[in-house]
Amino acid sequence: MLSFRKMHGLGNDFVVLDGRAAPLGLTRAQMVALADRRRGIGCDQLIILEPPPVGADVFMRIHNPDGSEAGACGNATRCIASLIAAETGKARVVVRTISGDLPSESRPDGLWQVDMGPARLGWRDVPLAREVDTLHLPLSCGPVADPAACSMGNPHATFFVPDLDALPISDIGPRLEHDPIFPDRANIGFVQVMAPDHVRLVVWERGAGLTLACGSGACAAMVNAHRRGLTGRAARISMPGGDLLMEWRQDGHVLMTGTFATAFTGQVDPKALAA
């Protein structure tokens, strides 16, 4: 039997598997089956812990529900940092991903703050299919147009809209995710600015669809809103699952602060999963 832990950050939920002792050897089909909300455990991302490389406390591998690999996940990072802290007694944990290190700190108020690293603003960094201004992409779909783009270890495009609730996100989200301008597809954020220090955000996640919260999407929203002159360098990002506190520091790094939770633990029979 394969032990798992179901965790979430603001409702952005994860199945966490521990592969530090030995490789789990899961096939892509098995990962898709685990993520299925009707026939499996169900999650926005499957997280596999691997042995810590030099300079880090754990390696976190992230898979989307379609089995594709993601480079970063801020909400999962807070969850995993809390697990490693409970094991080691450390108040500061370094989580490594394929996109780099994510130093994380426990705060006295019980929240975790993650340094999500620098926002990458070049068109090749996102990446985009051709050279364009990442502050104003020549992209539109239905009622939305003129997004800004950046990379937070994974590609993001942020649209700014007057009324978030009026958008047909389930319709336009997948079309924008797969637009040819994004060779690796993209996470698509929709932002309504409420005040210079408060925005609302809904994200259509690459490979996952609509989620209650997206940590890297909140980072991109913070960065792109400030680049457009719509907010200061710090803001509260309100998503359907709750709020994150964001800061884009002068050195380019983005700090994300929020909660984490364990929903339940259990075991699953790998032989019952898709071959």
Q: How far apart are CA 107 and CA 92, in angstroms?
A: 10
**Residue 100 contacts residue 117 (beta carbons within 8 Å):** yes
Helices 74-88 and 215-227 meet at what angle, rounded to 10?
A: 130
Q: What are phi and psi of 125, to 5 degrees?
A: -70, -30
Q: How far apart are CA 45 and CA 16, in angstroms?
A: 9
Instruction: Report the catalytic residues.
Output: 73, 214
